Chains A and B, each alone.
Chain A
Amino acid sequence: MNRRLRWLLGLLIIIALFIVIIFYPPASLLEWQSISLMRFFFILLLCCIFCLYRILRGPTPADRVVAIDILGILIVGFCAVLGIPTGRPWYIDIGIAWALQSFIGTIALAKYLEGKGFEE
């Protein structure tokens, strides 16, 4: 009973945050595009806060490696959303470079977790 109540409370908090991000302050019909792009940033920031919680609180090192990997993929999404309203073509270049660097870093951390050297 207690466990189910906690689950329901967490779900209600997440739905409340989502509704506040989407519907407050109310957008007029003419300028819904620019304001909704700002709200996309807020949703991605909420995802990044969840990842940072897992990095700080993870009981094992493997949890932290998983959270760092997810944070790298989220930053590629950030660069893609930034490329839409500004119209500049080099944000997606930053995204591609960040995806490469994040992949290499994750592979290196996974080899470190195995307890072997890097030369294999």
Chain B
Amino acid sequence: MIEIIAYIFIVVGLIFDLFGCIGLVRLPDVYNRLQASTKCVTLGTCSILFGLFLFRGFTATGIKALLCIVFLILTAPVSAHAIARGAHISGVKLWDKSVCDKYEEDKQS
């Protein structure tokens, strides 16, 4: 029974990974790509690791999988924010149809 729940978690994680990578190819802008792909792929990989934890239980491998989940959730938003800030400072333009750019207004004021 618990193996079937673990397989369901892994399949959901793979579908999130696939959607994140399709967003990485499809969307028009650096910032849109960053938002779609980072969130989807982080959630998908955390779901795969949680499936591995459900397979193994509280053994060494399962606890390492939980540790890896915590580490990914802590570090992925930090790296995404650093990339977005670096891209904006290095002068990457937004998409033509973007509505507002608050960071540019803050830098000018």
Contacts and interface: CB of A to CB of B under 8 A. Distances in A.
Q: Give chain A's interface secondary structure class.
A: helix
A74 B45 contact: yes
A66 B44 CA distance: 17
Nearest to B44: A77
A61 B38 CA distance: 17
Interface residues on A, range: 35 or more
A89 B61 contact: yes
B84 to A, nearest CB: 8
Contacts of A81: 10, 48, 52
A60 interface: yes
Interface of B: 3, 7, 10, 13-14, 17-18, 20-22, 24-26, 30, 33-34, 37-38, 41-42, 44-45, 48-49, 51-52, 55, 59-61, 64-65, 67-68, 71-72, 75-76, 78-80, 82-83, 85-87, 89-90, 92
B83 A113 contact: yes
A14 interface: yes
Contacts of B72: 73, 76, 99
B89 A99 contact: no
Contacts of B79: 69, 103, 106-107, 110
Q: Give chain B's interface secondary structure class.
A: helix
The 7 closest A-B CB pairs, nearest first, are A113-B86, A62-B87, A110-B82, A50-B21, A47-B21, A110-B86, A106-B79
Interface string A9-41: 010001000100000000000000100100010
Given A89-B61, A114-B85, A77 B17 contact: yes
Contacts of A109: 83, 86
B86 A111 contact: yes
B7 to A, nearest CB: 7
B93 to A, nearest CB: 9
Contacts of B76: 73
Given A62-B30, A81-B48, A103-B75, A110 B83 contact: yes
Contact of B83 (A33, A46, A62, A89): A62
